[in-house]
């Protein structure tokens, strides 16, 4: 979803970069390089050279070239004949934010299950539940199980989830056209 908003220009790239640059391994010089390059290229639509950047940033051309090369090596920037392409940089930030959001959603759902059951899962149990949610059963189906069954411990929870996912598999394997 964020990728689409970014593509439509509905998300501030400047703010996105400033709030997340450390998460993708950028330093302050690299952030300033990107921001100044974006600003200058918007104004005059010309290729921004390391010489121009050094005048704005008061750092040497060599340092700018090293920082740009580091961005290229990290696959955040592509240097093309007439422009510097930052699309990979912003795509990486957006995907990072979306992954963080998914993880927060998973954690919140696990907490909901724990609250309903009245006990806390161990770390291996949390990983097993996450795996079940990714491969065997939906969140809604887990909630249905919780509300329809009295579950006393983790083993009984797994047993009921297993039976429920087996019912789903059997109904999917049933050839409706033959009967």
**For residue 26, what pLDDT is reported?**
95
Three-state secondary structure call for residue 119: coil
16: exposed, middle or buried (Cβ count in 10 Å: 0-12, 13-18, 19+): middle
pLDDT category, 170, cuts 50, 70, 90?
very low
Instruction: Say which residue, 130 or 72, is predicted with more confidence.
Output: 72
**How many Cα atoms occupy the beta-carbon half-sphere of 53 within 13 Å?**
27
Q: Are 53 and 6 in contact (CB under 8 A)?
A: no
* 64-70 contacts, C-beta under 8 A, 24 or more apart: 64/33, 67/27, 67/29, 67/30, 67/33, 68/33, 70/30
pLDDT category, 2, cuts 50, 70, 90?
low
How do residues 80-134 score in pLDDT, each as one tens digit? 887 888 889 988 998 888 888 888 888 888 888 888 888 888 888 888 888 888 7
Question: How large is the C-alpha radius of gyration of the chain?
Answer: 25
**Structure tokens of 33?**
């390089």
Q: Are 48 and 37 in contact (CB under 8 A)?
A: yes
| Dihedral angle sign, alpha carbons of residues 36, 40, 45, 51 | negative
**For residue 137, what pLDDT is reported?**
81
pLDDT for 5 beyond 70: no
pLDDT for 70 beyond 70: yes
């Amino acid at each position: 979803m964020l990728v689409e908003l970014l593509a439509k220009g509905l998300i501030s790239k400047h703010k996105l970069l400033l709030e997340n640059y450390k998460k993708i391994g950028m330093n302050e010089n690299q952030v300033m390089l990107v921001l100044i390059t974006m600003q200058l290229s918007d104004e005059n639509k010309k290729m921004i050279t390391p010489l121009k950047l050094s005048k704005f940033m008061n750092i040497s051309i060599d340092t700018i070239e090293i920082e740009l090369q580091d961005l290229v090596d990290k696959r955040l920037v592509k240097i093309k004949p007439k422009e510097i392409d930052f699309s990979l940089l912003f795509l990486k930030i957006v995907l990072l934010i979306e992954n963080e959001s998914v993880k927060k959603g998973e954690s919140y759902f696990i907490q909901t299950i724990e609250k309903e059951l009245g006990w806390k899962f161990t770390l291996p149990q949390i990983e097993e539940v996450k795996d079940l949610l990714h491969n065997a059963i939906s969140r809604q189906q887990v909630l249905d199980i919780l509300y329809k069954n009295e579950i006393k411990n983790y083993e009984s929870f797994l047993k009921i989830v297993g039976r429920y996912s087996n019912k789903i598999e059997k109904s999917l394997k049933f050839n409706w056209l033959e009967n």
